[in-house]
Amino acid sequence: MKKHHFSKKWIQFYVPIFASLGFLFILSIILICTIPGKTYKNIEEEKMDTKKEWPLHIVAPFIDLSSWVSPSSAYSLSGVPNVVLVEEQTGIKYYNLGFIQPDTTKPLESDGTIRWGWGGLYGLSEKGNDGYQYPNIKKAITTLSDMGAKYTISVGGQLGKAPWIVSSDVDKLADMYLDIIKTYNLKRLDLDIEESNQVQAANAINAKAIKKVQDQTGIELVLTIPIMPSGWQDKQVQIIHAYLDEGVNITLINSMTMCYGTGVYSGEDYGDASIRAIENSVKQMQEIYRNYGTILSEKQAYQKTGATVDIGYESYIYPVFTAEMTAKVVAHAKEHGYGMLSYWSLNRDAKMESNSGVNTQYEFLSEMNKFY
């Protein structure tokens, strides 16, 4: 075979070019190997750290704005809980306001539009305005904003049917959420998914509506779901999957650390059981997200975790949840950096309603504020 000889001119011209290219190639390999890559973990933490409306770690008690408070009480605005007075007394920065539900007597219009209202009463809404309670609900929310407090509104709840149960129309569900977001200038929405509202198929349809709304508004989403000390049961895991399957961006998964029944260990109080529940849920969250190609560190999983305790007396079936139990959960939350601490309810803690397990006004808020 005849050998090819390169000319002197060819060598003088091309060899320096190839040498330079080789040097750049080697340099790029070195840089790739020595400079840390932008992993999903880094990207996710940047997203979480750039939240403008809601910081990473908050205390946000639940208050039931649809509950009745005697007009003779200072904590009443025509029967509506006087959250403005609570704000003046406490300076709470963040609230969970509940609950919006479909009207209990007539949930849908003839065209399928969802007739929503506070407490499942259409009269307690913008369109059904009863002229008595609702104006004070709207005034309370507006005043909270004027005072510098932030709030999310919770849709669903323990009692009654959630919107995704009475309607399977993605567009009508999306229209309802957009209406709520616009009416109350929301940046964060909570779905309180309890009892019979945990139907997976219904939540899968609702997830499509939420995804549609998120794409239009960028609204942050919190899922509030039951939990046991052993962690989420299959029903709750499937709910989380229903929203992730549709590509919904879940900001927080808020576990209702309460009402465990026989789920506690012998000698374990509800404070310890709540900590065990959260620790188990963090492991579950990491596994769930891994199924979607997302690696959450333990720190990130705790940042996406909310815990809502049930303060005071709930029922003869359950022990009274004390301030001492709350202190245990707060200490654990502070150590691990939960995304949110909350409790049910501010109505009890402010003593605008009687509860035998609440001894002094705002005693549970005082414990919760140690989280900061």
CA distance 69 to 362: 17
Q: Which amino acid is at 243?
A: Y
Token duo for residue 161: 């049917």
β-bridge pairing 94-102 and 116-118: antiparallel
Render each residue's pLDDT in the chain as its tens digit; 372 residues: 433 444 444 445 444 555 555 454 444 444 434 334 334 443 344 343 334 579 999 999 999 999 999 999 999 999 999 999 999 999 999 999 999 999 999 999 999 999 999 999 999 999 999 999 999 999 999 999 999 999 999 999 999 999 999 999 999 999 999 999 999 999 999 999 999 999 999 999 999 999 999 999 999 999 999 999 999 999 999 999 999 999 999 999 999 999 999 999 999 999 999 999 999 999 999 999 999 999 999 999 999 999 999 999 999 999 999 999 999 999 999 999 999 999 999 999 999 999 999 999 999 999 999 999
pTM as predicted? 0.87
Task: Return the percent helix, strand and coil in the chain, to nearest 5.
Answer: 45, 20, 35
CB 225 within 8 A of CB 274: no
Domains of the chain: 40-371 (3.20.20.80)
In this predicted structure, what is the pLDDT of residue 44? Answer: 44
CA distance 337 to 328: 14
